[in-house]
Amino acid sequence: MPTLTHELDCELKLVLTQTKSIKGIFLQLAPIRGTFEGQSKRWWIIFIVIIGGSLSLVVSLILLAINSNSGLGVHVVTANIIIGLIILYSDIVRKRVVKYKLLSQRLSILLIAGISGVIAIITMGLSIFFIPAAWIEFFGAVFFGGFVVGIILIFLYEGFPILNVYKSSGWITIAGFLIVSAIIYMTVVAEWIVPYDPFTLNVGPLLGPPTPQFPLGTTSLGQDLLSRTIAGGAIMLQVAFVSVIICFSIGVPLGLFASYRGGIIDNTVSLIMNAIFAFPGLILAIAIAAILGPGVVNMALAIAVVYIPSYFRVVRSRVITVKELPYVEASVALGGSEGAIVSRYILPNVIPSAIVVMSINFADAILVAAGLTFVGLGLPIDVPDWGWDLTFGSHQLITGAWWVITFPGLMIVILALGFALIGEGLNEILTPKLEKGV
């Protein structure tokens, strides 16, 4: 009976003797002579754009880390890369041991969770030992930043199979995930890699244009716009995540319960949801935010009220369709309880549609949060936020200071685009009938 070592040796020989493609999201390179010969012009354009863009991001991150205001940027980025590589390698090992049936799928996931726990404990201990005054912030940047880097590396290494299966929708989904993951990483480690304190005034000339010292220019208060752009995404992401969690937690159960029970309950809830849906979303969010006052939770609540009807309507339409299917009617005829029928037969058919709505809702929440801050209903004025910079930039645009509004606005567009790409890709993947025109 062949041993595991013998099987691994055979597999290695197969890799070395046959044409074997390297997995990855954007590239499919074969380790043989002539790989780059005969490639199309489109392939070369994609290759140059991807490699050039990736190298630019890596070099920019390294320069930011070296010139960081905290003096610990290099330490944080290095620790993130190390943790990310550990997570990637652990995932590769997990799949290998499952493939050779050394561990079950469940035990392999528990192994990854155990490794993550050990990394968290070690990171926490080192943070407390070396930076006792700010160990919580340092631990969060190192551990969660490394976790995000690990996810990005897994996407890059394991992304090619999804592209083979789903083609263009796979490209769209993975591209959206990479954009969002990159911005999340930027905001997680922002405190440790920014070149200047985003709160400090007069670090440079007032309304200074982009220069080598201030690559994105300065604001009307002399603040470094690059530092504020890096740190300004935190509020947007917090508001978006909290609002989406609230929408999902209320809209999905409400749609399940009301539409399955039907009758007066369904009519009443549908009437309320349609009434809310009839209001223009941004105007309703502004009215609710004005009543609740500033704050991340209040902004999230204002956005959630606007978008709960979207979840309700999608879930309701799916439940009305699914509950008429033969296997659901058979379960009812056999005396199945409502809870069992909903959880076993209806909910699994509803979740894919709800996930698509959730991903699109992220993009809408980002734009609405920026709108609330733009009209003065966001957080206090001294908090770095893309919405506030849009407000200040709109006032300075007439003077020719185009950079104050351009770069924060561009970040909002990129983040919303990332979530929109995720939603569009997941919509095609989770609803394959759309691809066939059914």
pLDDT averaged over 10-residue windows placed end to end, the chain, 438 residues: 45 40 40 49 68 75 83 88 90 84 81 87 88 88 90 76 63 83 90 88 88 89 90 87 92 88 86 87 88 87 91 88 81 76 82 86 89 82 84 85 90 90 80 51
Cα 135 versus chain centre, distance: 25
| The pLDDT value given to residue 246 | 92
Structural contact between residues 418 and 400, judged by C-beta atoms closer than 8 angstroms: no
Beta carbons of 291 and 234 less than 8 angstroms apart: no
DSSP characters for 19-84?
--PPP-SS----SSTTTTTT--HHHHHHHHHHHHHHHHHHHHHHHHHHT-SSS-HHHHHHHHHHHH
pTM over 0.85: no
Residues of each domain in the chain carrying CATH 1.10.3720.10: 232-436
User: What integer pLDDT is reported at residue 167 of this predicted model?
Assistant: 64
Question: Do residues 21 and 29 make contact, with C-beta atoms less than 8 angstroms apart?
Answer: yes
Helix (H) or strand (E) holding 292: helix 281-292
Note whether 413 and 367 are within 8 A (CB).
no
Mapping DSSP to helix (H, G, I), strand (E, B) and coil, where does residue 218 land? strand
Any idea which residue has 């969770």 for tokens?
Answer: 113
Answer for the pair 149, 78: CB distance below 8 angstroms, yes or no: no
pLDDT of residue 7: 45
- At the fourth CATH level, the homologous superfamily of domain 232-436 is MetI-like (1.10.3720.10)
pLDDT value for 247: 92
CA dihedral 306, 311, 316, 318 (to 10 degrees): 150
In Å, what is the CA distance from 414 to each residue of 60, 234, 351?
Answer: 18, 14, 27
Residue in 190, 222, 251, 233 with CA at minimum distance from that of residue 410: 233
Residue 360: what pLDDT? 85
Helix, strand and coil content of the chain, in percent to the nearest 5, comes to 75, 0, 25
Task: Please give the pLDDT value at position 241.
Answer: 92
336 Rama sector, left if φ>0, alpha if ψ -120 to 50, beta otherwise: beta
